[in-house]
Each structure stands twice: as structure tokens, then as C-alpha cells.
Amino acid sequence: MRPVSIHTGAWRYPGAFPDANFSFGHLRDFARRLEAAKFDAFFMADHLAVLNMPVDALKRSHTVTSFEPFTLLSALAGATERIGLVATASTTFDEPYHIARRFASLDHISAGRAGWNIVTTANPDAALNFGYESQMDHDARYVRAREFYDVVTGLWDSFADDAFVRDVDKGIYFDPARMHVLDHKGPSLSVRGPLNIARPVQGWPVIVQAGSSEPGRQLAAETAEVIFAATGSLEIGKRFYADIKQRMHKIGRDPGSLKILPAAFVVVGDTMEQARERRALLDGLVHYESGIGSLNSMLDYDVSGFDPDGPLPEIPETNAGKSQRERLVDLARAGNLTIRQLAQKAGSYAGLAFVGTPASIADEMEQWLVEEGSDGFNVMFPWLPGGLDDFVDRVVPELQRRGIFRKEYEGSTLRDHLGLARPANRFFEDGQK
């Protein structure tokens, strides 16, 4: 969810809730529907600034504002029972002690359903909201991210799982021998610890990443347990999948301990034709001003001065996230698209989409799984609630019928849902739950 649909026309679709991203009631209902459909998790992406696009584009998109994801996910923890809760938090503009505490708290409060999507924050405008005049260099952000991850996971291991004895008679609340003081002093961060909360239910909340640049892939291969990949086609997806699993093999990580879940935009119809008509209707609701704004933002480069009906010029490297830019440039080159055509795709949605009947969508998903393009999907709904209802009511039963999606939750934690092991405490050999 970003904040409810990534598509800037979504709020205008017939029957959509225009205020869905402002309404906790709507979002709670969406989460409960997904829980009833046995989804692994509810994921909310994030931005640390109003999107950097001209105001004439901005004013047309519902993506300008949303609830802060961690607040929303915590509120959903109090309103759901089983579904995982994955929130984005930035290693560039936050403190590891805060992040470790919040995700540990969410994991306790939700009884083991928390996941942390680690981002380094690509939007260059975010720096201006946090006291900086310009954004930290792309590679430097990833160096800090790696150290940040080490500190956060080290803080989660502050207490052995059996540290809290709560011996009422003797008056001993915890065993100090089962507490570790991290005392981290590194190039980017100094954090003493210990964390002032017990070890999370899951040991560590599930570690999620989405970067696809070279340092992003390497960080993911070393640390991630889920990747929200942005892979536009099955061929690209298979190459990405093989690359990540090979990187894991090289450093001695079990490839099964990381799940690759490409973002997939789903539009369901009774017929192929109806599904395509729905997609076309939705795309048609994106104003050109909004499309060109999205395109400039995703490229981190202003192309509005070029001929809209001419080709995309050379796009220079910038400090922003690389994956979106590269994907769009590839798309433009491959299809000989004009700037206008690319803007339409950027403002609507330019990535992987399954547009079809419940059977055709299930066919495509199954093919991705069988051919090792992915381990599952990060499903994105085209408009809410209709697009979500269509998927839950019609595609999920088809996937269940084929035996490639669960009919009931088998465990209670997000790790259980994803088939991920509970990490050992690096400071205490025993004391596992």
C-alpha cells in the first residue's frame, strides 16, 4: 500500500474511496480482508517528504500524504490477529536505538508479526526536512545502512530469551548475566545499549529490503529475509532471482532463508478484454501534468523541457534511488516510447502487472513460482476497495484451488507465514524460546 494504491489515478476510479489513505476505518477494513484471505503481511511503503514534483503534478495525486507507516501498522496490530505488519523505516534519517525499540515493541504487541523494510531514502527532498542541505551520497547511504543493521540487530539481542525470570518471591525481575551491553563504536554510529525491552518474539522482526542497485543487492544478499523486487518481466525477474541466490551462496547463506517477492500490480476482469478495459480506464484518469511529475520524480531529472513527443534524452546518474530510473530508461529504449508515453506509464504504473481473468493471473503467478522468477508477490491493488475485493474474492480461491497458496495460517508469527527460521541470539548460545 502506498498509501493505498501506487497508481495516481486510483482515487478517481468509479467506486473507489477518494479518501482511503486518510481513513483508518478503511485501512483497517482492508487489512482485515487481507487477513481473512490469509495474506502473509500488510505492507506500507513510505516517503519522508512530500514527493519532489511540481505542484501542478502534486495536486492531482492522492500520494501526496499518508499516515506515517509505523503509526498505522501499530494501530493495525491492535485491530488484527494474524496478518504480518511490515513498515518502512529509514537508516539515513533515523536513529538505530529508536528503530530497534519500535520494531521490538511492535513485534511484542503484535505477538510476533513485525517486519522492517530497510530503506536508505531515495527522495532527495527528504534531506531538507532533517537538517541537511543535500542528500548523502548513494554508496555512503548503503555503508551506513549496513552498520545501522548491525546495531539494530545487536540491540535486539540485548537480552537472552530467558533473561526475564520475574521471581516474585526473591524479588529478581531479570538475570543481569543474561543482559548484553552492545557498546558499539563504528564509523557512522555510536550506540551503547542495552535496549530497554525484551528480545522480540520473533528474535528479530523480519528484515525486508527493496534496493536493486549493486550495493542494494549485496546488502540484501547479506542481510535481507524478504526482497520486494521491482522486476518488470519474468526474464528480468529470473535474472534477478538467480543473481541474489548466487550472492547468498557465495557468502554461505542458505538461499531458502530469503524470499524474493516482486511487486505485482493486479487488475482482475471477467474476461481479458474487461480487465484491459479497466486498466485503460484507470490509466486514463492520470492527467499529463501528473504523469510528467511522476516521471521527473522517478528519474530524479526534469525532462519537461524536452519535446513531449520526442524520445527520452540521456539521463545522468544522480544520488537518488537507481532502480526506478534504470527500469524506466530500459522501458523507454525497449519500446521506443516518447516522453509523453513514458509519462503516462510513470503516472499510472510502469512495472510488472498481471491484467486478466482469475485463471490467467493465477497462471502467470504460477509460472513465476515454477520458473524461479520469485517466491511469491508483493501484490499491489489498482484501486480500493474494488481492486482489492476482486483479487481476494476471485484470484485467491483460484490460487488455493491449485495448492499454491494456503487456506489457513499454519503458524502465528510472520516468520511462520514466510517459512523463515527464528534467528539465534549472537550473544547467548542458550536461552532460545
Binding pattern for the stretch 267-306 against a copy of itself, x by CB under 8 A and - elsewhere: ------------------x-x--x----------------
Which positions make up the binding site for FMN?
46, 88, 138, 142, 212-213
Q: Which of 65, 63, 77, 70 shows the shortest CA–CA distance to 31? A: 77
Q: Does 19 bind a copy of itself (CB under 8 A)?
A: yes
Q: Which is nearer to a copy of itself, 56 or 389 (CB)?
A: 56
Cβ contact 60:287 at 8 Å = yes
Return all residues near 64 (Cβ < 8 A) that are at least 6 apart.
Answer: 50, 51, 58
Q: Which is nearer to a copy of itself, 109 or 234 (CB)?
A: 109
Which positions make up the binding site?
46, 88, 138, 142, 212-213
Amino acid in position 356? G
Q: Which of 88, 103, 81, 105 shows the shortest CA–CA distance to 28? A: 81
If you write DSSP's letter for every residue of 232-266 in order, what string do you get? -SHHHHHHHHHHHHHHHHHTT--GGGSEE--EEEE
Cβ contact 354:266 at 8 Å = yes
Number of residues lying near a copy of itself (CB under 8 A) = 75
Q: Does 15 bind a copy of itself (CB under 8 A)?
A: no
What are the two backbone dihedrals, phi and then psi, of residue 83, each rounded to the nearest 5 degrees?
A: -70, 140
C-alpha span between 25 and 346 (Å, rounded): 30
Binding pattern for the stretch 60-89 against a copy of itself, x by CB under 8 A and - elsewhere: xxx-xxxxx-xxx-xxxxxx----------
Could you tell me the smallest distance in angstroms from the CB atom of residue 68 to a copy of itself? 4
Q: Which is nearer to a copy of itself, 197 or 315 (CB)?
A: 197
Binding pattern for the stretch 368-407 against a copy of itself, x by CB under 8 A and - elsewhere: ----------------------------------------
Range in contact with a copy of itself (rule: CB under 8 A) among 164-172, 250-258, 273-281, 389-397: 164-172
Q: Does 98 bind a copy of itself (CB under 8 A)?
A: yes
Interacting residues with a copy of itself between 180 and 219 (CB under 8 A): 189-194, 196-198
Residue from 29, 125, 326, 363 that binds a copy of itself (CB under 8 A)? 125
Range 338-350 burial, b when 16+ CB lie within 10 A, else e: bbebbbbbbbbbb
